[in-house]
Every structure is written in C-alpha cells, then in structure tokens.
Structure 1
C-alpha cells in the first residue's frame, strides 16, 4: 500500500477509505455502533470531515500506552510496512470498521473517573493515527474539552499531517524511532527516516512531551552503532523527551501475518536475550535518558 499516504491525505483512491462487507476481523469494537449501512459517498465525506473513522479496535490498558489507565483506540491504515509489526491487520484503512467520533467520545466520557483516579487518558494508536488526521483531531479536541489527557502513538512519518492546531490538543507523543541508520530504517519499514526526525524536531520546538520508543530486534536493529544513532536522534529533542522505552521484539503477530497470507520475514528471529536488552538500555542511559 505504498500509495495510501496520498490517498488518505489528499483525496486519492476511494477504496482506501471503505470497509469491505467481510474481512479478517479484529477483536475489539464491542459496544461501539457500527455504521455498515452508510452510503458510499456519505461515508467518504464524513471520514474527510472527521466525524467518522476506520477503526480496528479499542481497549482499556494500564501503563502500556502512556501514563495511568488509558482507552487506546487503534486506527486502521499505515504507510509503513514494518517487518516486525504485530498488527498487520491494521495495514489497510479499508479493512477497519466505520465508527462515529461521537460514539467514541461518549465512551471516553464514561471513563473520565477512571482516568482522573489513575492519571490516565486516551491514546490514539494504529496502524498510524496520522493517516486519519481529521478524525483524530475530532477525538483529541473532544477529549481535551472533557479535561482528558491525550496521547498519540506514531512513527512520525506522516507528521506533516499534524497541524500546529492539531498538536495543541496533544499532551504526549509516543514517537517510534525504528532505526538510527537510514539503510536499516528503509529495510525495517520500507520508508525514509527523515520525516520522523523532522516531526520530533517540531514536537520539541512546541514543547510537546515525547516518550521515544525503540523496538529491539536481534540481527535487524540491535547493532550498537544503530542504537547509538537512535540515541543521538532522540538527544536532539532535549527536555521534550521524558523517557525512552526499549521494546523487545516478540513473535505475537506471526499468526496474523499467516492468516492474511503475508510474507513474514522474521519467523526465525528469536526475542532478544535479557543481556542484550539491558546493554541496549545502557546505551540510552549513557546519553542521560530515563530508560524503561
């Protein structure tokens, strides 16, 4: 889906917006009203205006996607093709379920007490949240109006889709820096590294808090020189970076790749040994970061 970026953000192919009659379904839109009877043109118009989105699932999680207990909403659609992706069923926007923004906002309102008690809030994840910037902005604005802490989880590749007004409603960004080496980044994602760096620069300039994330994959991203380059990139964002999270690679998405008929190239890659994880974290600590 190398053209989806232009389809989603500048009009493009209508089929990228539409949910099919049948698909390999995710397990997490329970309690949300599905709008499967919308006319095609109406659905497209509503997605572009931000009142309707393509959603894979939502869940309540604690201390995973930001501080406290969070309602994490997983968007469908992503311009990257990360070799280690554990949600390949979010690659295509058309494979999601159409869900109204107001339905999600009503659910957020129910959990305001939980968010306040735990110091939590909402996290918009994916897929790639910035594939659907109008819909994301509707959710973020509504959450801020309710006094709810907001977070987005993004690769930053589509950072240009997040206007300054959009970022005013974002309290925290989980920014995935997938490699510090351009060649390795292209191998991991199929895309270029520069947009992530540029987005991080914008966040730092605006004073938006960043939790930088790095997925440690033995034999792919684990070279100490690559990790050092990642640390140098994150270092340029200064005090905006509250913490760095080193996320060990796992094989939990293998079944999804197989069910979708996709070529999973990391089938024989083992999760990193604890010693490698700790050595990688130590590289980030040496740059003065709080590391998890």
Structure 2
C-alpha cells in the first residue's frame, strides 16, 4: 500500500477545481471494490471519538497540499494496470467539503481517454447541505458507489460520539436513495457505545428506507490510532476502551439485517 508523497507548491494551472489533499495511497484494498487509487482529502467537520486520522481535520489554505485533477490523473495512469478491477476512491477527511474538486475529478475519470474509471466516494455525509443541493449535483452524478459511514443510530448517541447532529447525514442518505446511487453502509462497532443488538437493530431500521443500499460493512473498533494522537499531542477520547472482539461482529451484523427486514416488512404492510 504505497503512499505517494505530496509536496507543497506542486499545484499547476488547471481547467478543473483544485483540491486540498492530505495524502494519496496508490494500492488501497479496503476502500471499495478491487485495488484502488485512494485520495485522502484534507479537512473534516466531525470529531469522531475513534477517528484514526486527526491530522486530516484542519481546514484552510494552510492545511494539506493543493493538488490539481491533472496531477491525480497522471499518478493514476502510472499504475493503471493495477486498477483493472478497482478504480479511484476519494476519502478523507471529508471529501464533501470539496464537492467541486471531487466532482471534477470523478467526471474526468469517467471521461478518461484510456477507459472509464470506477469512482467511489467514502463519506460520513455530514458536509452535505440539503439547503444547497445544487452544489453537490456534479459529484453525485459522477459517483458510482458511496461508502456511507453511519456513526450511531440514535441522535443523542451520535452527538456524544461525533460532537455533531446526524440531520445532514440522513438528508444525504435520502438524496442518494432518491438518485439511486449505490451505497455500502459502514458502521464502526465500539465496545460500550455501538455494540448492542438494540443499537444495531435500530441502525437496520434507520437504513431500511434506502433501497439503493447494496452492502453492509461492520467494522470492529481498533486502537491503532492512539499512537497518532500521542504524536500530535492530543488526548485520545477512547483511551480506556479495548479493541472490539471480532467474534461478535456476525451476530451484530445479523441484528442490523433483522431490524432492516422488520422495517421493510412493516413498510410493505402499510403500502398494501
């Protein structure tokens, strides 16, 4: 999983929107289907207690590196044979803070003269603004798959875990469903926070109206981010929470599916 080193001052004139990027990984295997070229955008408005990339939080002209769409395409093309069954993923940070840049990048990848490239957006959805939906038209029209991180099924639990309300995230999920964009739901299972069957069933009920959901990934919480917090001089919010027991994941995943099936059965009953 080689990382491409980005250096300040490498931006150039571009006919596309320019983005601020934290880093690039040339061989990602957990960021969508197949082997993928992964762009980590700079900036995130959320403060998830288990975030393992706090160095991507900062927003502004002094954060990250200014990068052109052309530069990213050049890097992608240098390893194109590896991405035959994959494509490009933009993650973060939070990529929806830069919808113009990501939209231009995805459009260029779709129109790539060497062949259309599959595009994947990895987002928490919080930066989506339902009051200004037109700003997100291009990026959503050019996105083949969304990895949507749902942090917590309960609004108060969501605020406690992320310091943010879930309203914009749910609005984003509704918009993806309206457009029929394929979505894989991701949910981090944290001991004592999101590891109960009740919470997972509630998650299933929450996502049940989104019939565009094509997958569910239950991600066990890990403690690998602690070292980065120490390096940055930050206090780690979950320092006393142990890593999640992976053996419990199948049962909790089934709880999500049970909640989803129940909600959809009720939906069909009401419709009939």
2:170 pairs with 1:197: yes
* Distance across 1 between alignment mates of 2:187 and 2:27: 20
CA RMSD of aligned residues (A): 2.2
State how far apart, in whole Å, the 2-side matches of 1:131 and 1:100 are.
16
Contact between 2:125 and 2:169, CA under 8 Å: does it hold in 1? Answer: yes
Q: Could you say which residue in structure 2 is the equivalent of 1:12?
A: none
**Cα drift, residue 275 of structure 1:** 3.5
Gaps of 5+ in 2: 262-272
Instruction: Using the TM superposition, give the Cα deviation of residue 136 of structure 1 relative to its aligned residue in structure 2, in angstroms.
Output: 1.1
Show the counterpart of 1:29. 4
Name the CA distance, whole Å, in 2 between partners of 1:108 and 1:145.
14
Candidates 70, 77, 86, aligned match of 1:109: 77
Q: How does 1:63-102 map to 2 (within 5 A)?
A: 63-93=29-59, 94-102=62-70
Q: Does 1:154 align with 2:123?
A: yes
Structure 1 SS opposite 2:33: coil
| Structure 1 contact 50–137 (Cα < 8 Å) conserved | no
Counterpart of 1:252 (choices 224, 228, 231) is 224
Distance in 1 separating the partners of 2:190 and 2:16: 36
Post-superposition CA distance 1:233-286 (Å, at most 9, x none): 111101x11110000000111111112122211111111113322221111232
The offset of 1:191, in angstroms, is: 0.5
In the other structure, the counterpart of 2:201 is 228
Structure 1 residues 174 and 151: alpha-carbon distance in aligned structure 2, compared to 1, 3 A threshold: same
Q: TM-score if structure 1 supplies the norm length? A: 0.79
CA-to-aligned-CA distance 1:190-219 (integer Å, 9 cap, x gap): 111111111111111111000000000001
The answer to whether structure 1 residue 140 and structure 2 residue 140 are counterparts is no
Higher mean Cα deviation, 79-88 or 217-226?
217-226
2:4 partner SS: coil
Deviates more, 1:254-263 or 1:82-91: 254-263
Q: Which of residues 121, 135, 143 in structure 1 aligns to 2:87?
A: 121
The range that moved more, 209-218 or 197-206, is 197-206
**d(CA) in 2 for partners of 1:275, 1:148:** 36
* Corresponding pairs, count: 250
Q: Deviations over 1:60-114 (max 9, x none)?
A: 3354110011001001100000000010000013331222221001122333332
Aligned residue number for residue 130 of structure 1: 96
Query: Which deviates the most, 64-73 or 225-234?
Result: 225-234
Residues 139 and 107 of structure 1, relative CA distance in 2, 3 Å threshold: same
Map of 1:10 onto structure 2: none
- Deviation, structure 1 residue 33: 5.7
Q: Please report how far the alpha carbon of residue 227 of structure 1 lies from its aligned counterpart in structure 2 after TM superposition.
A: 1.5
